[in-house]
Structure 1
């Protein structure tokens, strides 16, 4: 979309040279945070194993159906034993979800689904180990079962659920149709604070891991033993550290540190100058931070096509006399609506409709983009109104 000659950005700038190209902050942030987590080698391996397990369990409709059936039985048992509460929309039966590099929150959803369906997934893997159609299926099921029942896999699974869950709240908030840039900065600050609190909560997190391992009969190593790398040969050991030290500092702290660094770099690099200037428009405390020079610089640098020189001078005089108090100069940090609209084009203009004219496509897109309004329209009313427009001949063969 950013192609200099043939991309969509170039087409927009041709007709509207003062338009600004704004990245989808929610999408880019999600991808950046996942990539930051994968900087830890063990996390990269975890996602590889997770993808293999999800793909194997969901390889056929029969396995997905059996997984749902097992999960349904588990929910019934937990409700009868009062481990789960009932209510409208509660205890929905899902299946495992694949994570994708271009889908919002798919990594967090994939992790959370596996946690919810951990017992069901282990059960179906055990069945495939014993009753698989051939040795390949039985062998693959055994390998997946051994991986999912390891302490390292469970530790990283629960860690990513915590970390990605915190950043997912920010990503979901940034997917709103419009967002004031100062409010976005506050969201980033609160996300960083939650991550820092999580980093200080190692003991609470480790207790949750211990509880999960006991519940699902997963062997826990002696955390005071020396951590052995590679094939555990003495010549390969570089650091004399305990297992607890490795999981605490090399994985737990490292993942959170990468997330914090990525948050700082993304928002400082992309928006810091604009944030400083926009602070002058903050209405808090009766526009206490109101600064004429900052507002004029904002208009001159970021809205130069909207203000000619005479208008900039007039703007400054107006601000001096407080004739222009309320300015609507907000940055839509979320382009989720636009990106969803482009994704919908693939559903509307398919290979069978490749000759669809622009006007017809536009009408289709308007109905989708304004679906909240369209959903409130009564189809019978439209049919009746169309029928009253003109009498039509009906030919019978």
Structure 2
């Protein structure tokens, strides 16, 4: 797309222009001035050229830069830490895991989970089961769980927060906000409403007794 950005953007702009015409919206350039510090001030005779130069091409360059920084050689050298997750043991060799661990720590062992069933399948689950593991493995799992391999989970949290805490509800308490956010993110989990009612009934009884 970057190599053929003119043709690609022409197709995108034609679609946008078609939708704008249906809604009776005129695509115009922002007002230009002699000196602009808060946005691009590119001189152009047509909105097509302006938005291609100020939005489309900079976005592609930024996206390419982010891909290169995320999947660079250092990330490839430590991705084998995924093998510390019990469910992913067979995905990486022991030598690859040790080589990845040597970037941060050394002396990695995975004998503790060998032959067992119901082993953790995610980094977070494996981290919570680290009581019987060595502290070094816990440290490596903690590092691996926070590596920016993907930002999907954090993006879901940010999107949920934006929907829940709007300018009309800016004073929501933290406990209520956390509860609503968890309900929204993990909407696939079935909730027993009767258990919820019983829980709040018990809390109310304890409050009255105290």
For the aligned pair, the TM-score class normalised by the smaller chain equals 0.3 to 0.5
- Please, what TM-score do these two structures have when normalized by structure 2? 0.46
Q: Which structure's CA Rg is the greater one? A: 1
- Please, what TM-score do these two structures have when normalized by structure 1? 0.27
Higher relative contact order, structure no. (Cα contacts within 8 Å, ≥ 6 residues apart)? 1
